[in-house]
């Protein structure tokens, strides 16, 4: 029953729940809390899937009173019966495959993203003009602004942006990009990119990844509004909306510009909405975390005492 329950929770958290949250309108009023909720849902789904696998493994290995396995996998065929035994083995194998794919995806995304950023950072340092404080100016007529996160971070703007934007607008756009670097929004995106890549195409959904991309831009927008106000930021976003940026960079413009402009003229962030989202994130994560941690700690305790 525990394996079935965890499987149902994992399926619900990876399908219907993200779909409903992606359609909700409240996250734009609490972007930071919404990101935490998205993270909790993703982590809870993964933990639930592993919890189901562990519950199945406990039946296959038939732990004794001291917590040690008393049988091999094949010796449980007679006790469980062929149909149930085969189903348990398949679920356990799928759990191991998911874990392996997730580990591989995390490493693959991290390595590929850092290679692209390192190459582009080298190019920017060679052809761009240094303005100090990790700022590089490119001789490009099109207005654009983006940042390259990492240990050797860079904020990159074009000559076109400098010519098109006033002082307040440039301050807003620079604050936006530096907010990305300071909060390490790239690491949040890497997590969701890895989870997205770990699942087959016919199973995975882009809801979480697309929503988090929008929310981190809204968080950076909030920092820019506090520094320069909404009007300069709006003008800067419009000017840089069509700017093309390299893969792995976090750009001020892009396809989410229209939604973010509407938000600047809408209702402000809500602390009540944020508090509710934080509580929901804690509740979503509590059940699978406790269900996974408590059995492991119990078994370790029994093994050490045996």
The pLDDT tens digits for 50-68 are 777 777 776 666 655 555 5
Q: Considering the chain, what percentage of its residues have pLDDT values greater than 90?
A: 46
Choose between 14 and 204: higher pLDDT.
Answer: 14
- 8 Å CB contact between 235 and 207: no
Choose between 194 and 203: higher pLDDT.
Answer: 194
The pLDDT tens digits for 273-298 are 999 999 999 999 887 777 666 665 66
pLDDT for position 306: 53
pLDDT for position 100: 86
Report the alpha-carbon distance of residue 148 to residue 221 in Å, rounded.
17
Dihedral of CA atoms 142, 239, 257, 203 in degrees, nearest 10, equals: 0
pLDDT, mean of residues 242-250? 81
What is the pLDDT confidence band of residue 1, given thresholds at 50, 70 and 90? low
pLDDT for position 62: 61
The pLDDT tens digits for 165-201 are 999 999 999 999 999 999 999 999 998 888 888 776 6
Cβ neighbours, 10 Å, residue 141: 11
What is the pLDDT confidence band of residue 137, given thresholds at 50, 70 and 90? very high
- DSSP reduced 3-state for 201: coil
| Average pLDDT of the residues of the chain | 84
Residue 217, both tokens = 């831009």
pLDDT for position 9: 82
Strand partners, 156: 136, 146
pLDDT, mean of residues 240-263? 85
pLDDT, mean of residues 94-122? 88
Given a cut of 70, whether residue 129 has pLDDT beyond it is: yes
What is the pLDDT confidence band of residue 95, given thresholds at 50, 70 and 90? confident
Report the alpha-carbon distance of residue 256 to residue 87 in Å, rounded.
44
* Measured distance between the N- and C-terminal CA atoms of the chain, rounded to whole angstroms: 28
pLDDT for position 20: 92
Strand partners, 155: 135, 147
Given a cut of 90, whether residue 304 has pLDDT beyond it is: no
pLDDT for position 206: 79
Report the alpha-carbon distance of residue 155 to residue 251 in Å, rounded.
10
- DSSP reduced 3-state for 81: coil
The pLDDT tens digits for 17-61 are 988 999 999 999 999 999 999 999 988 888 887 777 777 776 666
Considering the entire predicted model, what is its pTM? 0.84
Choose between 200 and 12: higher pLDDT.
Answer: 12
């Amino acid at each position: 029953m525990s394996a079935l329950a965890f499987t149902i929770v994992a399926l619900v958290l990876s399908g219907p729940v993200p779909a409903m949250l992606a359609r909700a309108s409240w996250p734009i009023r609490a972007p930071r809390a919404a990101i935490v909720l998205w993270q909790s849902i993703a982590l809870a789904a993964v933990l639930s899937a592993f919890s189901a696998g562990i519950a199945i493994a406990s039946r296959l290995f038939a732990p004794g009173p001291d917590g040690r396995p008393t049988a091999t996998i094949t010796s449980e065929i007679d006790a469980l019966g062929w149909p149930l035994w085969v189903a348990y083995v398949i679920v356990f194998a799928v759990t191991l495959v998911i874990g392996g794919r997730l580990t591989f995806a995390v490493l693959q995304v991290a390595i590929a993203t850092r290679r692209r950023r390192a190459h582009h950072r080298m190019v920017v340092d060679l052809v761009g003009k240094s303005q100090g404080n990790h700022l590089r100016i490119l001789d490009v007529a099109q207005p654009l602004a983006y940042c390259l996160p990492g240990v050797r971070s860079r904020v990159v703007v074009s000559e076109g942006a400098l010519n098109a934007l006033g002082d307040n607008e440039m301050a807003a756009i620079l604050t936006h990009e530096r907010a990305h670097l300071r909060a390490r929004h790239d690491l949040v995106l890497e997590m969701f990119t890895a989870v997205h890549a770990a699942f087959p195409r016919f199973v995975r959904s882009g809801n979480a990844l697309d929503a988090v991309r929008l929310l981190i831009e809204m968080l950076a927008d909030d920092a820019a509004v506090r520094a320069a106000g909404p009007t300069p930021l709006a003008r800067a976003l419009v000017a840089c909306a069509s700017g093309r940026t390299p893969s792995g960079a976090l750009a001020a413009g892009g396809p989410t510009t229209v939604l973010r402009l509407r938000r600047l003229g809408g209702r402000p962030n809500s602390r009540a909405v944020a508090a509710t989202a934080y509580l929901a994130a804690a509740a979503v994560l509590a059940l699978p975390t406790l269900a996974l941690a408590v059995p492991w700690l119990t078994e370790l305790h029994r093994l050490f005492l045996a």
